[in-house]
Amino acid sequence: MEYTVPLDFAISPLATTLKSALHSKIDQKTKPLGALGQLETLALQIGLCQNSLTPHLTKPSILIFAGDHGVVAAGVSAYPQSVTAQMVANFLTGGAAISVFAKQHAINLLVVDAGVNADLAAHPQLINAKIAKGTQNFLTQAAMNSADCLQAIQTGADLVTQQHATGCNCIGFGEMGIGNTSSAALLMHTLTGLPLVQCVGRGTGLDDKQLAHKVTVLQQALKQNIGWAEVRSPSIANDGLPASAHPIALNALATFGGFEIAMMVGAYLQAAEHGMVIMVDGFIASSALLVASCLYPQVLDYCVFSHVSDEQGHQALLKHFNATALLNLNLRLGEGSGIALAYPLLQSAVLFLNEMASFAEAGVDSE
């Protein structure tokens, strides 16, 4: 089966023409060399993303993609599937952690119904982009067919383009979906080759017995999908993808992913095409980035990793990306919460680059 929506993103590597000048500008600030640590690395990256010696952050936004998962029927979560829709309502009424943090830092927050198994009431912050009422149970069949998978990717891309058109140049993606740590673990295992047990975590707070059951279910899913790239998942052609594209990334996404994860894949790729600064949240958000980076590795150049999740697979994913996160607060909430908490550090990086005096301006001896 050929997909109907071609994947054709044009992501440029970061321009390096200003790299030396940015380094010099950072080094000439009134401080010892390297004294601002990761903030200096961050300022350099943001300057390169925007190809500017005076970068700025405008209209920061977080999109929370929400979707349900058929595999929840196998008992992989401590919470029932109904919690997905209930938490979406909580986001929209301002009662969730991300709602509080986004308001605190003046970050525009939107919630996307990618595939919630409920009919959600209209709300100014809710975007209805539902592909279906949840994915299929990947214990018995692919989570989604190729057309739905590709539609989700394109929808995520289109939503980012809409935000970019408003003047947003810094964006992050959160998620909500009971059962989605199971999808993330299988994507991670499939695309990194790391042992499954290193990819599976406690998710919504499983105890040891429940965690063991989750591992057993995911092992069963892998056995059920032996040869999945050719058989279980509908074939997805790779036309339009770069030569570096991972040959199985899209099939892995269709087989084990969720609609919210697929939308995040497209969102990451489109944000990078627009040259936006991309803030990455925790485990599920990083699993979507893993798929995106298998397709277009240069997407990682635009990514700032907000925090180290307490979900064990995330630490291994960060190592896979060769990434250093800004915060380590033992978070495992999702929702984009780590993004909102880390955003002030991006503001500080830009402010010191633009407003902190140089040695010459301050009349301070540099030697």
Sites in the chain below the pLDDT cut of 50: 1-5, 229-240, 243
pLDDT for res 248: 84
- What are the distances in angstroms from CA 319 to CA 17, 220, 293, 322, 351? 28, 27, 14, 5, 29
The reply to whether 335 belongs to the active site is yes
pLDDT for res 204: 80
What's the Rg (C-alpha) of the chain? 21
3-state secondary structure of 126: strand
> Distance between terminal CA atoms of the chain?
67
State how far the Cα of 231 lies from the Cα of 280, in Å rounded to an integer: 32
State how far the Cα of 181 lies from the Cα of 96, in Å rounded to an integer: 19
The pLDDT tens digits for 261-286 are 999 999 999 999 999 999 999 999 99
- What are the distances in angstroms from CA 178 to CA 116, 135, 185, 198? 10, 12, 14, 20
Active-site entry in 335, 355, 361, 367: 335
pLDDT for res 299: 97
The one-letter code for the residue type at 347 is Q
Two tokens, residue 310: 């307490």
pTM of the model: 0.94
The CATH number assigned to the domain with range 59-344 reads: 3.40.50.10210
Cβ burial 291-308 (10 Å sphere, 16+ → b, else e) = bbbbbbebbbbbbbbbbb
3-state secondary structure of 137: coil
pLDDT for res 272: 98
State how far the Cα of 276 lies from the Cα of 270, in Å rounded to an integer: 9
State how far the Cα of 323 lies from the Cα of 257, in Å rounded to an integer: 23
Residue 42 · residue 7 · CB < 8 Å: no
pLDDT for res 3: 36
What are the domain boundaries of the chain? 59-344
